[in-house]
Structure 1
Amino acid sequence: MGDFNAKVGTENVDDIVGKHGLGIRNERGEKLIEWCQTNNIIERNTWFQQPPRRKWTWKSPGDETRNQIDYMMISKRYRNALLLAKTDPSADCYSDHVPVVGKFKLKLKKNSKPFNNIKFDLAILKTNQTISEKYQISVQNKFEALRDAEEVEQQWENFKSAIMEAATEVIPKVKRKAKQKWMTEELLNLMEERRCAKGNKEKYEQIHKKVQEKCNMSKENWINKKCKEIEQQRKHAPQTMYRNI
């Protein structure tokens, strides 16, 4: 995104800028602080006490001056996740800037609910009377077999289980839709075959190679077809041509 060349200096500003910065604040530094205040962002590396050689991030040509103009910024909400921030002037990265290195501590939240990727074609219950009746009977039979539970939570679990089992048996799944315009039904079937072969490494690699070849071929054919259409529209339908481009 480019450099702000913003120097925030050593003066403390609320909980945005700490007193362990470097240099004298400039006008761009003021603008950066205003932006941080608006967006609840903290310039975290100004809060850690370090020697000057671990603070400067840029040196001018000829090594006349050294400034701190690169910051490790983080949302106020996660400020405690960043335990340490300092520069590494010894890093060989072919630049007049030096990297700012941080030490993070992340606490990941465990997702206790299993991810269910099954999508049923529920619209078919309104259009197909046979499937609708069959589904109702299946749900009723399964729930009747499990309705002896006395506790409300258990009754709910039984009811949910009856609905899901009946849906799996009766309602067809939604067909996988192509995300790319050049994707074909043959490719979608190959991808499904590849997904099913995940446990067999050799078979998976063979199908994966075939999928890549077919994808490249299908994409190229689609682009060539579009190019021919655009060429045909060049004289007779220029507006359509520009829209297609």
Structure 2
Amino acid sequence: MQVYMPTSEIEDDEVEKVYDTIEDVLQEDGRGDTNSIILGDWNSTVGDELYQNTVGSHGLGRRNHRGQMLIDFCERNGLIVTNTWFKKPKRRIYTWKAPWDWRRHQLDYILVKHQFRNSVKDVKTLPGADIISNHDLLVAKFQTRLKKIIRFQKRRPRWDLEKLYAQRQSVQETLEEKLSAIESESGNVEGQWNNIKECMLDTISDLVGKVEKIARKPWVTQEMMSKMEERRKWKNVNNEEVRRKYRRLRNELKRTTDRAKKNILRRYVMRL
């Protein structure tokens, strides 16, 4: 977001209106994990005095009233003034020169959210840049790593081989009966194979079934396993309604887990 703040001749009420407009934009487009970068001519001086986690000690000059207004704005919105956190020679700090170069001030700033401060690797001015302006070019170096989202891939359930072995005679007889009823289509190999495959899958599904997922911990129930699967399904979906559903499932699962742990611990203690 590019900003140009009114100069010192303008009343503070007009400056506050500009800040309110910026906050409205932040509330609408810069919520959550959005890395909002606000830069420009703020016509204020935050100075070289450390102020909490908002302003560093490597600014320039003495803080003025407009500089305090900028700091208050940053505090309300969780922002930091990046070019006050890097130690530089003065020629890399000042951003504005008065006519005939008799005064130099730091009036331009780059603001980022506090949670993204580590992504800012360097901020400095380029006094030798060939531009027609009494402001020096202010540049920042960012390094952002994108979050890797691991999509959950549901494992394909396995057939219950032990049950298949135990009922192998019944499965064999049923398969033979169904396969003998299949009409052979001469010349259509694909069709014959699909009929045989469907016949085998239906038979094994009816007589054998698949292995249910077994909990590794003795206190984990099948109900808890189902809730874990459902919670995992909604984990990486970026939607407010889905996030509420995920939090609800997480809280329910935590309460159920805590109760189950206490119950099994009580049973172990009673055995002793």
**TM-score, length of structure 2 as denominator length:** 0.42
**TM-score, length of structure 1 as denominator length:** 0.47
Structure showing greater relative contact order (alpha-carbon pairs closer than 8 Å, 6 or more residues apart): 2
Asked which structure has the greater CA Rg, the reply is: 2
